[in-house]
Amino acid sequence: MFEDHSTCLVVPWPSRGVPRATTLVINGIIGVFFTLAFLAGSYRDGTLLMLGRSFGLLQHPAIWIFVIAQVSVPIVVSRGIATFASLDKTVGLPLTDEFIATQFAPVREFFFDMLNRSEGRSRRTFDILLLLGLGFWAWNTFQNLRIGGRPHFDFWDSAEHFWGYWLTRGYKLYIWLVVTPCAVHAQLCIIRALRRILRAANASAALVLDPYHPDDAGGTRSFIDAALLPMFALVIPAVLLTTAATWVHGGFDVTTVGSIAATLILFALVYFYPPASLRRAIVAEKQRQKRKISGLQRSLYEALLREQPVAATLKDPTSVLLSLSSVAKQVDSLPNWPQLARVIQAAVLFLGSPVIAPLIKDVTGQVQKWLS
């Protein structure tokens, strides 16, 4: 049902008749082809291994991160699209049946319109991603000319080495103008569509929290997992590439600082933009449930004060009052930011590694000097 909507993951100007599996296979073949071409070209250039402060193909981690991400990210994102598109089939989704039946289908169609870039804002976003990708490619191309480079510092795909330089120019053009814009665009579409669902659920009071749901978040983690788990496919390569850049450059320059800034922005979009809407809906639903519980407690309490009869099923109204208080506390204990601790741990791990990479490199360099 959803196959025809995800071909845009691999080609930015998709043919609607190309199945998703075919585009993913083609993307994988491209990755294998360039891997073999890099090895052959670097062998011709004599840059498989380089001495001193220089980095050969087998010593430079960034290109291998690019290849692995280029093949794996579209697969993960494609599965993320299918997962989100079938979110209404998720068992235990904390939404009313009426909302799922009436509101989810229009959001799904809006989601597909965004994926296919037939929606104005989505189309403009994709154009911006293309321009950013072109800018990254142009900067990397200029940087690899070694203009203003440090003495005795070289790398296998600099302009000094014909095959390494031109092969990576073609490959990174494919990365920055095809794979990355499509993958990021698809994830942004998921974020926007999820945010629209949450805002509509908040407006219509359709979010129903289960205080005793096994996920310890009232059942809301299904939303977070649908949006956040596939995002690791984007955030992890971004962090690894940033770490590799700071490791190779041995400090902070335009490239490394720009990479860290881009990773921070991506992380914020992924882990705080959708949960902000979810938090508002959770807070509103918790207040609604606590008001309802409070109303029941007040009715029982007034009946006890007036010694009026209560429902026959309530053998001990006092214990019921205490039980309702326990339920209210359980509702109040539900997290407003589901999986916040997990996000903080990921932030420390992901965003800290690029910052400490140059420090680790300096320490290892000093250790090597002492040992020698």
The pLDDT of residue 60: 82
List, for residues 4-53, the tens digit of each pLDDT value: 454 444 445 444 556 778 888 899 999 999 999 999 999 999 999 988 77
Total number of domains in the chain: 1
The pLDDT of residue 44: 95
pLDDT at 205 over 50: yes
Mean pLDDT of 216-245: 70
Q: CA end-to-end span of the chain, whole Å?
A: 63
The pLDDT of residue 247: 63
260, 354 Cβ separation under 8 angstroms: yes
Which residues on adjacent β-strands are paired with residue 207? 95
179, 171 Cβ separation under 8 angstroms: no
Query: Tokens at residue 143, please?
Result: 């940087």
274, 227 Cβ separation under 8 angstroms: yes
Containing structural domain, residue 365: 3-371
The pLDDT of residue 145: 84
- Confidence category of residue 366, pLDDT binned at 50, 70, 90: very low
Specify the length of the chain in residues.
372
List, for residues 146-188, the tens digit of each pLDDT value: 654 455 678 888 888 999 999 999 999 999 999 989 888 888 8
Q: What angle do CA 240, 353, 358 make, to 5 degrees?
A: 100
- The mean predicted confidence, pLDDT, of the chain is 76
Longest Cα–Cα distance in the chain: 96
Buried b (16+ CB within 10 A) or exposed e, 196-218: bbbebbbeeebbbbebebebebb
DSSP letter string, 93-122: -SB-HHHHHHHHHHHHHHHHHHHTT-SHHH
Mean pLDDT of 56-66: 86
